[in-house]
Amino acid sequence: MIQTLPNDDTLVENARHDPDAFAALYQRYLTPIYRYLLVRLGNPQDAEDITSKVFTEALEGIVHQRYRENGNFAAWLFTIARRRLIDLYRQRPAVLLEEAALLDPDPFDQIQFSDNKTRLKELLSQLDEDKQELMRLRFAGGLSFAEIAALEGKSEAAVKMMTYRTIQWLRENWEAKNV
């Protein structure tokens, strides 16, 4: 017999009455939120700190009925993450830039794939901020097209098309440099 997991709205409703029930939502979204923040910040400690704040705020929002039923929980959670990022950037924008400049290259940069990683970073940096954010949400955050659409206030079809075109552009420019 296949056991299906409860959907987010069911888990939210359970967490409203029993905060311990929030653990299932936490387990479901911990990795996507953390990866998204790590990609944005490049600093594991800051990503962990903000991830903790995101889930604390989400639990408070659920308990105090700030999350509306039949909403998109993942989109709401990533909105909280974005707001906490903005708060961090406002608090210490110069420090974050200095930290980013001082980061030692990770082991991945020291092996044969470092050239590809650098090239991909260069290509991604050529995208406008909306497309960069789309790529982070889709691939680092692991969000579905529907979740990204809800978060960005766009149709799912528009998000799919933008993703397709962005990947196509990346592929064409990647191949152009390989010639």
CA pair distance 96, 42, nearest whole angstrom: 9
Mean pLDDT over the full length of the chain: 82
Domain hosting 47: range is 1-103
Quote the number of domains for the chain.
Answer: 2
Kindly report the length of the chain. Answer: 179
Query: Residue 111 corresponds to which tokens in the numbers above?
Result: 């092996």
Each residue of 7-19: pLDDT tens digit? 888 888 888 888 7
Which residue reads 């604390």 in tokens? Answer: 56
Residue 139 CB burial class (10 angstroms; 0-12, 13-18, ≥19)? middle
Tell me: do 114 and 179 sit in the same domain: yes
Each residue of 75-131: pLDDT tens digit? 899 999 999 988 888 887 554 455 544 444 444 444 444 666 777 888 888 999 999
Q: What is the model's pTM?
A: 0.66
Final residue of a structural domain among 67, 84, 103: 103
Counts of helices then strands in the chain (DSSP H, E): 9, 0
